[in-house]
Amino acid sequence: MAVMASFVSVAVSILYTPVLLLILCVIFLASIGKSLGVRRLYVNILLKLFEYGRQHIEVAKKLQRSDSSDEEDHPGAGDEKPPSALVKENGVNGTKMSVIERQEILGPSPELNYKRSHSQERISNGYKVLKAENELEFHVDHCMDLMKAGVEAIIEDQVTSVFEAEELRSWNLLTRTNRQYEFLTWRLTIIWAMGFVVRYLFLLPLRILIFIIGVWWLLACTAAVGCLPDGRVKQRVNSTLSLMCFNFLSRCISAVVTYHSPELRPRSGICVANHTSPIDVLVLMCDSRYSLIGQRHDGFLGILQRALARASPHIWFERSEVKDRHAVARRLKEHISVPDNPPILIFPEGTCINNTSVMQFKKGSFEVGGTIYPVAIKYDPRFGDAFWNSSRYGMLHYLLNMMSSWAIVCDVWYLPPMTRAENETAVDFANRVKGAIARRGGLVDLMWDGQLKRMKAKKEWRELQQEEFSRRLKGE
């Protein structure tokens, strides 16, 4: 024990000064919004390392296939794809979405998929069935598309797949997303072991220290700003300190964010974005100041909420008010009616999606009126999985995964502001904004409600499916 204590004391005395200088350097760079480019250089080195590992994995797999072919002839083995390739690509962003390609038949609004004209001419799978007014003619094949859609949903449904980790093209040297690739060759084993030491013995302690300092610094800054009188001086000081604090906090996950079209950055109104992770707020707050909306909490999170509310006009609801749509709409209207208030940041999906898709936007924020500023966020899964599966991992486990990943790399696209058309419903407007975000971020546009992650399908949806099936049975 004495030897261990002396070793720890010597290590602390040696590392104390360089770590302190590193922390001060990070604070200074965050305060002026600058970077030395070390993180981007680090990311480029990682890409070369991943490519080197991919090549070795493919060589090892080819050797294994050649050894097995000597013993037994496997027809078609030469057509097998390398392990770095995906089983199925969606053709947009190269992520694994599904193993089934299908034309949507069943959905939240199946009556939109049911095509029927006044002449009782029905279109089904490319052929027409003509029927007289008083003639009832039914064939089993009229319902085959519904049966096919049902079997496809049993094999693989679209909702479940978007709440699982995104499939990678190649191994990123993280044990939680690999297939025991680190034991294929001794070179890969050495690289993986060195990466493990770097991530857990150097990066993780440093990131935890940055996180602790950053949180308390954010609390202190917001509490100090809250003491200033309301006015433009308070707003400018709050904006400067907010950018400084969140840029410093972003260092705890080695965030490398690229902002596209900064001239379209929201200045007021409502900002809506797709939701992958709680760090979406951190990513956006590193570039601009936003007001937040959410449920009021107790404990440490409640302390943070009260500190933020003293410095900036955020909207926090009690549990009894969260389900009151009119109260939420009224508070939103009051906020956007003040020109000096920062834009309010809303994630209309209401839950985290796995960085491959955009699910149904709740219409509440689109009924308020005013200008909507869409923002698309897309993370690069090669360096770390930013998706938070809240049903599987708690917040502490998720933060540990973030801080022990290589880095968090993402792109943010600011889209042109959008307003609701004169004869456009709130649902149609929400779908139009969702479609624009999906196209810009290279995401799959889905119509399903993200709350299906936690609850069963609505009764109205089931009744609509039954009505659709009944129409086909009657031959209507």
Identify the CA nearest to 329 among candidates 373, 368, 272, 372: 368
> Which two three-digit tokens encode residue 269?
């109104």
Q: What is the pLDDT of residue 189?
A: 86
Residue 297, phi-psi category: left (phi > 0), alpha (psi -120 to 50), beta (remainder)? beta
Q: What is the pLDDT of residue 299?
A: 72
Annotate 98-121 with DSSP letters as a single string: -S------SSS-GGGT--B-TT-E
Residue type, 119: S
H/E segment holding residue 151? helix 144-155
Q: What is the pLDDT of residue 181?
A: 75
Q: What is the pLDDT of residue 434?
A: 94
Q: Please report, rounded to a whole number, the percentage of residues in the chain having pLDDT higher than 70.
A: 72
- Rounded to whole angstroms, the Cα distance separating 305 from 315 reads 10
Identify the CA nearest to 308 among candidates 231, 398, 245: 245
Q: What is the pLDDT of residue 168?
A: 76
- Of the listed ranges 210-214, 254-258, 337-341, 466-470, the least confidently predicted one is 466-470
Report residue 423: phi and psi, to 5°.
Answer: -105, 20
- Of the listed ranges 136-140, 197-201, 227-231, 294-298, the least confidently predicted one is 136-140
- Rounded to whole angstroms, the Cα distance separating 45 from 24 reads 25
| Average pLDDT score, the chain | 77
DSSP code of residue 317:
E
Q: What is the pLDDT of residue 408?
A: 93
Q: What is the pLDDT of residue 323?
A: 62
- Rounded to whole angstroms, the Cα distance separating 99 from 106 reads 18
CB 385 within 8 A of CB 446: no
**20-30 per-position pLDDT tens digit:** 676 677 666 66
- Rounded to whole angstroms, the Cα distance separating 188 from 365 reads 50
- Of the listed ranges 58-67, 192-201, 443-452, the least confidently predicted one is 58-67
The winner for highest mean pLDDT among 10-14, 294-298, 349-353 is 349-353
**Higher-scoring residue by pLDDT: 458, 336:** 336
Coil, helix or strand for 260? strand
Q: What is the pLDDT of residue 137?
A: 60
